[in-house]
Amino acid sequence: MHSPPVKAAPCNAEAPGGGIAGRVGGRMSDSTHVAGRLSGQVVIVTGGTKGIGRGIAERLALEGARVVITGRDRAAGEETVRAIEEMVAGGAPRSSAGDRAPAESAPATGGRAASDTPAAGDRAPDGDGATARGDCRHIVSDNADPGSIGAAVEQVLGEHGRIDALVNNAATMERETILSTEPEFLERVLRINLVGAVEFCRQIMPAMIERGDGHIVNIGSTHAWSGLEDLFAYSISKGALLTLTHHIARNYAGRGIRANWVTVGWVKTPGEIDVWAKQGRDERWIERKASEVVPLGRLQTPEEMGAAVAFLLSPDAGQITGTELDVTGGLRV
């Protein structure tokens, strides 16, 4: 396992674009979405209100998906929905996930909370009549609460009649070494990062099996292969999530379900900037360090994670299952 050789470097990191972070090797990154490639797909993205999850939600909506993001923060969810729907409608230009001002004049179709009911006609119909333009909504849900997860899944199935794909992204990166980890701490991290992901799968997979089609993408980490010393609980939760991916791929392919994994590297998000700022290190320091330790010379972006997930959920990946897609700039080479 390769990881930035700095003790506090997280894997699922986040921040605004700029500097060397806009380059792919020596070239500027210019990932172009494929309009309509995911048209009409109903996709749940857990932890989709910020950072990597938001980058994924943005890309899926741009490609035509009916995206449902989950998260505990209602205000953050509503702001993310407004921004995504404005972006899909051709409004404000995007930057790295979370690095934009709230949209003041976004379409009214976004921003609904878990208890809200969509107005008739304000969303494109599901199935063959769906338009190429996607949309987004937020449901308040806690990955640590099985009841909350069940309610979210029931709501989406009730509104759309199906769930085409699940992206297990929600996670906590609380830090302790194996020597300082108390049972309660370990249980909390595993409940959010692993048990929550399993519960989403358990609740959604029966409907996928009934339809004979479904896709699951688990968002992983380079830490799954050993991890930094103070990310013990996080690392083993991601290792187990990788096993879950392989388990579903191996045992449920015959029932139409594909399961894949995206290995996330050092991603530039607002949360990552905050982590290093607390240690007195600014954005330029982060970029300089990334240029030294990432073979392709820079941090990754939430948008690039979104591009990877969009590919895996697309018809282009119809024969891909049980795959570990490495989007780390070469950290694991």
In whole angstroms, what is the distance from residue 168 CA to residue 203 CA? Answer: 13
Residue 124 lies in a domain: no
Name the H helices within 253-316.
270-277, 283-293, 302-313
Residue 191 lies in a domain: yes
* CA-closest candidate to residue 97, choices 27, 47, 43, 160: 47
Q: Which two tokens stand for residue 151?
A: 């309610």
CB atoms within 10 A of CB 209: 14
Residue 333 lies in a domain: no
- Say which CATH number the domain at 245 has: 3.40.50.720
**pTM for this predicted structure:** 0.81
36-43: average pLDDT: 94
In whole angstroms, what is the distance from residue 240 CA to residue 95 CA? Answer: 32
Total domain count for the chain?
1
Average the pLDDT over each of 39-48, 143-152, 265-274, 287-296 and give the range with the smallest value: 265-274
Domain of residue 66 covers: 19-117+132-327
Residue 218 lies in a domain: yes
pLDDT, position 12: 41
Rg, Å, the chain Cα set: 19
| pLDDT per residue as tens digits for the range 96-105 | 555 433 333 3
Residue 13 lies in a domain: no
Residue 207 lies in a domain: yes
3-state secondary structure of 273: helix
Residue 322 lies in a domain: yes
pLDDT classification of 33: cutoffs 50, 70, 90: confident
Residue 123 lies in a domain: no
252 is catalytic: no
Average the pLDDT over each of 101-110, 197-206, 284-293 and give the range with the smallest value: 101-110
Angle in degrees, CA 155, 136, 200, rounded to 5:
45
Strands 27-28 and 135-140, sheet pairing: unpaired
Among candidate residues 234, 252, 261, 266, the one labeled active-site is 234
Contact in structure between 201 and 77 (CB atoms under 8 Å): no
| pLDDT per residue as tens digits for the range 155-197 | 999 999 999 999 999 999 999 999 999 999 999 999 999 999 9
